[in-house]
Homo-oligomer: A and B are copies of this chain.
Amino acid sequence: MMRINERKLKILAAVVEFYVRTGEPVGSKMIASLPEIHVSAATVRNDMAVLEQLGYLEQPHTSAGRVPTIQGYRLYIEKLMSPADLPEEERERLDHMLGVNENGNQMSEELLIQNATTALAELTKCAAVVSDFSPQFSVISKVEVIPTGKRVYVILLITSGGSIKNKACRLEFDLTREQLSWFSGYLSEHLEGISVSELSDELMENLTAAMTAYMMSLSPLVQGVFELYRDLRQHALLCKGEKHLFSYEDLDKMEIVRFIEHKDELIQLMDDSFSGIRVVFGKDRENFVIGNSSMIVSKYRKGGKNVGSLGVIGPMRLDYAKVIPYIAYFSQKITDLISEQSEQSKQTREPCPDEEDQKKF
């Protein structure tokens, strides 16, 4: 008699969808009135009682309607919902928001990701969050030291992924031309062509040792290099649309504020490995900051490797059937776009071609 049949599942789905839409606990009469349900309210009541016993539904108080439990949401997301499909025109709109298709090319990865975050936040009215650790998989394609003003030198570091970092260092003394070119050459020789993931702490320490042994006064420069190194290894976290969270009645304002302040704690949750789309509920994890929240994340890849995670954070009462396809589409699109770029750049070996002209123009 505790058998869960087709109809009970239909009722569960209906409860989730209705609750997501209205935010009100759902009663048996409501469900019975739906066209796809052909039984009376009393029957629905019986079924709902079973669903409650099985832990998929719960009642806020004795005489209110039912509300889905976390388990209920999970079942719904995994088995019951039918994700909205994105018609062609919708996709075009999304592409437009990403900023692609405009002139068909030359978008920096960074901008792409930034646009995706903004778009996702806007579309879902949630906080959108992206963790990008792609620099770890790219190669340092260029390191330069550029004198600029008295005793000030800028270290410029460019990776194959297209990210450009710089750092200004002020020295005690000016470098002679030889010193500068020696240092610059040393860096090029030891760092260019190295993939960021190979940049171990040891390597950096060797570098540091070699440098400081050579001369003390370089130390701000060495420190600068070290800071750039740290920057590269760090997972960049980008979050937009936090403001939307404040409009949800069922999220605690204080917890939102805490979340805004401690986003970093998310990184581990977003970045540990999984495939496809993952939904995490706030109540489940005690390290998660917002109580009644849920987070939907997906990975994006580059050359077959996961190089970042993107997703949204919103209330549990979220239109998953709508939001999940967005996230799926964006992560796929980003994967396509950045993999394509990396294909392009693989065609060349030498990072800086200045031989003869390849092409007249």
The reply on A149 being an interface residue by CB < 8 A is: yes
Cβ-closest 10 pairs across A and B = A150-B348, A106-B170, A176-B357, A177-B354, A243-B257, A148-B158, A142-B148, A173-B359, A147-B352, A217-B361
Which of the candidate stretches A52-60, A88-96, A159-167, A267-275 sits at the interface with the other chain? A159-167
Question: What's the minimum C-beta distance from A332 to chain B, rounded to whole angstroms?
Answer: 23
Interface size, chain A (Cβ < 8 Å): 54
Q: Are A158 and B154 in contact (CB under 8 A)?
A: yes
* A180–B160 alpha-carbon span in the complex (Å): 20
The reply on A5 being an interface residue by CB < 8 A is: no
List A residues 329-357 near B (Cβ within 8 Å).
344-345, 347-348, 351-354, 356-357
Question: What's the minimum C-beta distance from A71 to chain B, rounded to whole angstroms?
Answer: 32
The reply on A210 being an interface residue by CB < 8 A is: no
Write the chain B residue with the least CB distance to A356. Answer: B176
Q: Are A146 and B150 in contact (CB under 8 A)?
A: no
CB contacts (< 8 Å) of A277 on chain B: these are: none
The reply on A7 being an interface residue by CB < 8 A is: no
* A78–B261 alpha-carbon span in the complex (Å): 35
Q: Are B361 and A173 in contact (CB under 8 A)?
A: yes
The reply on A220 being an interface residue by CB < 8 A is: yes
* A257–B127 alpha-carbon span in the complex (Å): 13
The reply on A266 being an interface residue by CB < 8 A is: no
Q: Are B243 and A149 in contact (CB under 8 A)?
A: no
Candidates B146, B169, B261, B351; contact of A148 at CB < 8 Å? B351
* A266–B174 alpha-carbon span in the complex (Å): 42
The reply on A37 being an interface residue by CB < 8 A is: no
* A216–B345 alpha-carbon span in the complex (Å): 23
The reply on A33 being an interface residue by CB < 8 A is: no
Can you list 10 A-B contacts with CB-CB less than 8 angstroms, sorted by A residue number?
A: A141-B149, A142-B148, A147-B353, A147-B354, A148-B351, A149-B160, A149-B162, A162-B168, A176-B356, A243-B261
* A217–B358 alpha-carbon span in the complex (Å): 14
Given contacts A148-B351, A149-B348, contact A170 B359 (CB under 8 A): no
Q: Are B174 and A168 in contact (CB under 8 A)?
A: no
Write the chain B residue with the least CB distance to A105. Answer: B170
CB contacts (< 8 Å) of A356 on chain B: these are: 176
CB contacts (< 8 Å) of A177 on chain B: these are: 354
Q: Mark A89-125, 1 if CB is under 8 A from B, else 0.
A: 0000000000000000110100000000000000000
CB contacts (< 8 Å) of A168 on chain B: these are: 108, 162, 164
* A348–B148 alpha-carbon span in the complex (Å): 12
The reply on A206 being an interface residue by CB < 8 A is: no
List A residues 262-304 near B (Cβ within 8 Å).
none
Q: Are A345 and B173 in contact (CB under 8 A)?
A: no
CB contacts (< 8 Å) of A141 on chain B: these are: 148-149
